[in-house]
Structure 1
Amino acid sequence: MIAYKGFDPGLICREYRFIMGVNKTEKANCRQNGFHCAENPLDCLTYYPNMDQAEYYIVNAGGDMDEDGDDTKISCTELTILKKLTKEDFFLHSLAFMADHPLREWSSHVTKDRAEASAGYVVVRGIDPVANGREKDILAFVKEDPVNGHIIQIALAQVDGRKLLPNTWYGADLTERQVALL
Structure 2
Amino acid sequence: MIAYKGFAPGLICRGYQFIMGLNKTEKANCGRNGFHCAENPLDCLNYYSNMDQAEYYIVNAGGDMDEDGNDTKISCTELTILKKLTKEDFFLHALAFIADHPLREWSRHVIKDKAKAVLGYAVVRGIDPVASGTKGDILAFAKENPVNGHIIQIALAQVDGIKVLPDTWYGADLTERRVALL
- Unpaired runs of at least 5, structure 1: none
- Unpaired runs of at least 5, structure 2: none
CA RMSD of aligned residues (A): 0.3
Which residue of structure 2 lines up, in the alignment, with residue 145 of structure 1?
A: 145
Residue correspondence of structure 1 range 25-104 to structure 2 within 5 A: 25-104=25-104
Which residue of structure 2 lines up, in the alignment, with residue 3 of structure 1?
A: 3
Which residue of structure 2 lines up, in the alignment, with residue 174 of structure 1?
A: 174
Q: CA deviation at 1:137?
A: 0.4
Task: Give the AA of the match of 1:45.
Answer: L
Q: Distance in 1 between matches of 2:30 and 2:19?
A: 21
Runs of 4+ in 1 over 6 A off after TM superposition: none
Q: Distance in 1 between matches of 2:66 and 2:108?
A: 21
Which residue of structure 1 lines up, in the alignment, with residue 19 of structure 2?
A: 19
Length-normalised TM-score, structure 2 = 1.00
**Percent identity, aligned pairs only?**
85
CA-to-aligned-CA distance 1:57-91 (integer Å, 9 cap, x gap): 00000000000001000000000000000000000
Which residue of structure 2 lines up, in the alignment, with residue 121 of structure 1?
A: 121
SS in 1 for 2:99: helix
Q: Distance in 2 between matches of 1:141 and 1:110?
A: 10
Task: Give the AA of the match of 2:76.
Answer: C
SS in 1 for 2:45: helix
Which residue of structure 1 lines up, in the alignment, with residue 132 of structure 2?
A: 132
Task: Give the AA of the match of 1:157.
Answer: A
SS in 2 for 1:52: helix
Q: CA deviation at 1:126?
A: 0.3
Q: CA deviation at 1:10?
A: 0.4
Task: Give the AA of the match of 2:46.
Answer: T
CA-to-aligned-CA distance 1:15-58 (integer Å, 9 cap, x gap): 00000000000000000100000000000000000000000000
CA-to-aligned-CA distance 1:105-124 (integer Å, 9 cap, x gap): 00000000001001000000
SS in 2 for 1:93: helix
Which residue of structure 1 lines up, in the alignment, with residue 107 of structure 2?
A: 107
CA-to-aligned-CA distance 1:128-180 (integer Å, 9 cap, x gap): 00000000100000000000000000000000111110000000000000000
Aligned residues between the structures: 182
Length-normalised TM-score, structure 1 = 1.00
Q: Distance in 2 between matches of 1:158 and 1:100?
A: 23
Q: Distance in 1 between matches of 2:9 and 2:125?
A: 30
Q: Distance in 1 between matches of 2:80 and 2:120?
A: 28
Q: CA deviation at 1:9?
A: 0.4
